Amino acid sequence: MAVSNGDSTPSTRARVVIVGAGFGGLTAAIECHRQGHEVEIYESFPELKVLGDIISFGPNAGRIYRRWANGKIAEKMRELSINLTEYGFRIHKYDTGEVVTTQRAPPPDPDAPVFNGHRGELHSIVFNHAQNDLGIPIHLGHRVTQYWEDEEQAGIILDDGTKVSADVVIGADGVRSKARELVLGYFDKPKSSGYAVYRAWFPNTDMIKDPRTKQFCENGDTFNGWIGPDVHFLFSTIKNGSDCCWVLTHRDEADIDESWSFPGKLEDVYKVLEGWDPMCKAIVEKTPAAMEDGVTIAVCLKRAGGKDRIPAAVRAYQDIRYDRVRAVQKTGETTRDMWHKADWDKVKEDPASIHLPREDWIFAHDAEKHAEEVFDEVVKKFV
């Protein structure tokens, strides 16, 4: 078993089309390039924009980035990421503001770094590496209207009628992707979790002027969380306190059919925070009005050994990833429920019981190494 550390290997001549240039699609493209596949991306947005707020990548993702460009991509991302070595994660009781516990940051691992930063800024680094450093064709402003496949190949049809074919098509264009219906054989309507999230990113200009909130911007990066019944509020400062970000998870009162994402109103945020530590509102007042998958599919296609075995390789990928993805998704719900249903008497006895979980089985996972190790055994089911 060998794990590739360079940016490409000899060509497999497998043609891969990826729909979507988010982190998942870009990672799949870069990893396919590393494994020697011919790859290109189609993205509906007409131009790259630095949008969004905070995004987090654990060490299982960090070790993937670390292998790109001899560590240069990871270094660029680190410079834009939060550094909590000194501050840690401070968890507050929602009403009194009391700091119940401080969770220390784990010691850094240079081979598996952690990144928490602005989604748009980190995305720009990965996008530019794919397009400029590796020369991967990224076709912007091309909306996919249909996915198709036959016995020999698969492909997409674009909104201008152009038909594109490939050996493998990867739908990385989100939960509403048209690829889901083709793969599943039925329309899979998204189901609400029952929760929604208000989120914001803004400069520290007004935070630093307020005696109540300037403490978060004067001494490096910070991360604080307030936990209450069916609600949690997370606030962090990044890039030495110059940028601020908050996330408020609460019971969803909107119609999921109305919009997957839509502008929120600060008045609605204040209603959710009624009766909470005044510091939360003081922070909000300053507000201006998929990676393991990509690594695994690239390895499976390389190990296929020929185009005639690509269908079996794709099925092996599904088998390798399915149970792990389901389990990882479930941990997010488990953490949310742990915080929203906190028994504060028990928390007094054991403050660490509400620490943010850091599961070894998630973060110690090396997707590339694992795919290399298990592929031969898994693919036997499908050949």
User: pLDDT tens digits for the chain (383 residues)?
Assistant: 334 445 657 888 899 999 999 999 999 999 999 999 999 999 998 887 766 778 888 888 999 999 999 999 999 999 999 998 889 999 999 999 999 999 998 888 889 999 989 989 999 999 999 999 999 999 999 999 999 988 889 999 999 999 999 999 998 887 777 777 777 776 767 666 777 888 888 889 999 999 999 999 998 999 999 999 888 999 999 999 999 999 888 887 665 454 455 556 778 888 888 899 889 888 888 776 566 788 888 888 888 888 888 888 888 988 888 888 778 777 777 887 788 788 888 888 888 888 877 777 777 888 888 888 888 888 888 87
**Strands of the 38-43 sheet, one edge to the other:** 138-140, 38-43, 15-19, 168-171
Helix (H) or strand (E) holding 18: strand 15-19
What fold characterizes domain 15-82+109-190+291-331+360-382?
Answer: FAD/NAD(P)-binding domain (3.50.50)
Backbone angle region of 230, left / alpha / beta, with phi > 0 → left and psi within -120 to 50 → alpha: left
From 287, 189, 276, select the one nearest 233 (Cα to Cα): 276
Looking at the DSSP assignment, which residues form a beta bridge with residue 222? 237
Report which residue type is found at 317: Y
From 101, 144, 265, select the one nearest 198 (Cα to Cα): 265
Q: How many CA atoms lie within 13 A of 321 on its CB side?
A: 19
Instruction: Report yes or no: 115 and 60 within 8 Å, Cβ to Cβ.
Output: no
Looking at the DSSP assignment, which residues form a beta bridge with residue 237? 222, 244
Going by the DSSP 8-state scheme, the letter that residue 17 receives in this structure is: E
The alpha carbons of the chain give a radius of gyration, in whole angstroms, of 22
The pLDDT value recorded for residue 288 is 64
Number of DSSP helices (H) and strands (E) in the chain, helices first: 12, 15
Token reading at 312? 């079996």
Question: How far is Cα 332 from Cα 235, in angstroms, rounded to an integer?
Answer: 18
Alpha-carbon distances, residue 43 vs 128, 165, 186, 253 (angstroms): 15, 16, 24, 31
Alpha-carbon distances, residue 184 vs 29, 177, 179, 256 (angstroms): 23, 12, 9, 21
Ranges of each domain in the chain: 15-82+109-190+291-331+360-382
Output the DSSP codes for 238-272.
Answer: ETTTTEEEEEEEEE--S-TTT-SS----HHHHHHH
Burial class (CB in 10 A: 0-12, 13-18, 19+), 144: buried
Question: How far is Cα 252 from Cα 52, in angstroms, rounded to an integer?
Answer: 20
| Backbone phi, psi, residue 132, to 5° | -90, -45
Instruction: Report yes or no: 165 and 40 within 8 Å, Cβ to Cβ.
Output: no
Alpha-carbon distances, residue 256 vs 231, 250, 260, 263, 268 (angstroms): 19, 15, 6, 14, 17
The pLDDT value recorded for residue 297 is 86
Question: How far is Cα 38 from Cα 165, in angstroms, rounded to an integer?
Answer: 12
Question: How far is Cα 183 from Cα 62, in angstroms, rounded to an integer?
Answer: 30
The pLDDT value recorded for residue 73 is 97
Token reading at 58? 């654990």
Question: How far is Cα 32 from Cα 16, in angstroms, rounded to an integer?
Answer: 8
